[in-house]
Amino acid sequence: QVHLVESGGGLVQPGGSLRLSCAASGTIFSRITMGWYRQAPGKERELVAVITSGRSTNYAESYVESVKGRFTISRDNAKSTVYLQMNSLKPEDTAVYYCNAQTRLIIGYDVWGQGSQVTVSS
């Protein structure tokens, strides 16, 4: 079934950039709405960004207010990969980031990546 493998996390200085990748196995990727969540220490997991399924000309993206203008979610259906480009990173962005595949409409439950640590610190 669907399996998500994340990469791209790490340590970056404030104002820097990171690009997270989430590669999905399986042939149903193009049909799946994908998202990125994050969970900071002592805080609940929050939705960061989401991109819908469908044709490439009909994707819809949304973001949590705190990352608007700084983060960009995108997908490459040919590579079965979703990305999160993070620019102008702030210490407040420090969290474990989780890739999410909204597969519940297909197989009855969502699939999650293992999590990627993003640390923004000087």
Residues 22/5, Cβ–Cβ less than 8 Å: yes
pLDDT at 59: 77
* Alpha-carbon gap, residue 107 to 71, rounded angstroms: 29
Band of pLDDT at residue 62, cut at 50, 70 and 90: very high
pLDDT at 55: 65
* Alpha-carbon gap, residue 6 to 55, rounded angstroms: 23
Given a cut of 90, whether residue 122 has pLDDT beyond it is yes
Taking 3-state DSSP, the helix, strand and coil percentages for the chain, each rounded to the nearest 5, stand at: 15, 45, 40
